[in-house]
Amino acid sequence: MTQTLDRTNARPASVGLIWRVIPPGLYGRKASMLVERSAMVNQRAWFVLVGGAFEPLLFLWSLGLGFGQMVSSVAGPDGQPISYAAFVAPALLAASAMNGAVYDATFNVFFKFKYAKLYDAMLTTPMGPLDIAIGEITWALLRGGLYSTGFICVMLGMGLVASPWALLVLPAALLVAFAFAAVGMAATTFMRSWQDFDLVQLAVLPMFLFSTTFYPLSVYPGWLQVVVSWTPLYHAIELMRGLTLGVVGWGMLWHVAYFAVLAAAGTVVAARRLGKLLLD
């Protein structure tokens, strides 16, 4: 006897607020299984997992300590002069969280979705599209957090942390990684081929170069300052700089809210798109 599973009716018995936002049939209780699978797969490719952490470190050593020796000081978030290394390090920390999350949530997810057909197999189990979205975003978040933790340790060793507020840097980096992972995965569901990933580079590289990573916002003309101030990496950098340098105010909550909204929107879009592509 063949039993047919009606996915449109299969959902947990307890229905809460989340089910008013996420359509029935997307589930959301087995995401940890996908995280566990990703951890097991990456045990044999740990060098790939940690290799991405070295790029921002090389930038820090070459620019912050190399080129930085030729720069006397830079204006910090409060206008006070700080060393160039102290200016660049928090920005590279934010970029590290971004890179670790984005590349895992885009290239890896696309391969699993289009070629490995991993998610099709998962949907024959009690997992649903929301489980897949949350699981992949969580793994990308953990990868971004791993990169950020290593970078924070290097900053501490180099004496580039000047405030007890830096205790909040890692949670802030995890929030940044979560938001970038969610948006990255949502964007991946619209990708048709590997060539479309040129758009990812087109978005990530200019953000890395121009979101006040290497020089203050004041060097730009007025109209470009407005554009830069709305980019996600700019908000991440401002958040990291404020915490590491002890320049903390109520304005920090704006940056936190920005990433909270970005993370929520990216997760919902990714889950809905996966549900449409995999269940239809």
Number of domains in the chain: 1
The answer to the question of residue 191 being in a domain is yes
Neighbour count for residue 1 (Cβ, 10 Å) = 2
Model confidence at 6: pLDDT above 80: no
Percent of the chain with pLDDT strictly greater than 70: 80
The answer to the question of residue 223 being in a domain is yes
The answer to the question of residue 75 being in a domain is yes
Model confidence at 67: pLDDT above 70: no
The answer to the question of residue 154 being in a domain is yes
pLDDT at residue 169 in the model:
92
Average pLDDT, rounded, for the chain: 80
Q: Which three-class secondary structure state does DSSP give residue 195?
A: helix
Q: Which pairs with CB-CB distance under 8 Å and at least 24 residues apart come from 246-253?
A: 246/162, 246/163, 246/164, 246/165, 247/76, 247/77, 247/78, 248/163, 248/165
pLDDT at residue 9 in the model:
43
- What confidence tens digit (pLDDT) does each residue in 194-234 have? 888 888 888 998 999 889 988 888 888 989 999 999 999 99
Q: What is the CA radius of gyration of the chain?
A: 20
More confident residue, 97 or 58: 97
pLDDT at residue 49 in the model:
60
Give pTM, 2 decimals. Answer: 0.81
Residue 124 in tokens: 């024959």
The answer to the question of residue 118 being in a domain is yes
Q: What CA–CA distance (Å, rounded) separates 132 from 66? A: 43
Residue 33 in tokens: 């299984």
Mean of pLDDT values over 230-251: 92
The answer to the question of residue 198 being in a domain is yes
The answer to the question of residue 21 being in a domain is no
Model confidence at 63: pLDDT above 80: no
Model confidence at 235: pLDDT above 90: yes
Model confidence at 45: pLDDT above 50: yes
The answer to the question of residue 236 being in a domain is yes
Quote the crossing angle between the two packed helices 252-279 and 169-188, to the nearest 10°: 30
Structural domain containing residue 60: 26-279
Q: What CA–CA distance (Å, rounded) separates 150 from 171? A: 14
